[in-house]
Amino acid sequence: MARILLVDDEPNIRFLYSTYLADSGHEVIQAQSGREALQMIQREPLDLVVLDIKLGPESGLALLQEIAYRYPSLPVIILTAYASFQDDYTSWLAESYVLKTGDPNEFLQTVDQTLQQTSHRVAPPSLRPATAREQPAMR
């Protein structure tokens, strides 16, 4: 189905949510830090990023801003244990905000809805290969 990057600093959480996603038919790539996530976004074609807000010493919200700036067509879902960050305007850059719980249903529904709603997005020309019509004429 979709290629999803799951970014969380906790290995057990990455394992749990990547299992949920894989069981739903998605291909999951994992990153434990913002730096690692940005490297993967640069080299992997992705349909969605699932991002924790607290990444050890790093801020998931800062990473969200970076992704929104560099890759505006790439949807991001915030997956966190902290409801209080919903009021932070930076979190509004994400497509959705989901709280970590023991029940994966809300999370998986949000993933499916986000993928459906954003499937029409096209990467800007600078992020996708030029088509024959867009390539400059040879002289």
pLDDT score for 17: 95
Q: Which of 70, 76, 36 is nearest to 55 (CA)?
A: 36
Q: Is the pLDDT confidence value at 135 over 50?
A: no
The reported pTM is: 0.81
**Percent of the chain clearing pLDDT 90 (strictly above):** 58
Taken in order of first residue, the domains within the chain and their CATH numbers are 3-120 (3.40.50.2300)
Of 39 and 125, the one with more pLDDT: 39
pLDDT digits (tens, 9 = 90+) for 81-100: 866 555 556 666 777 888 88
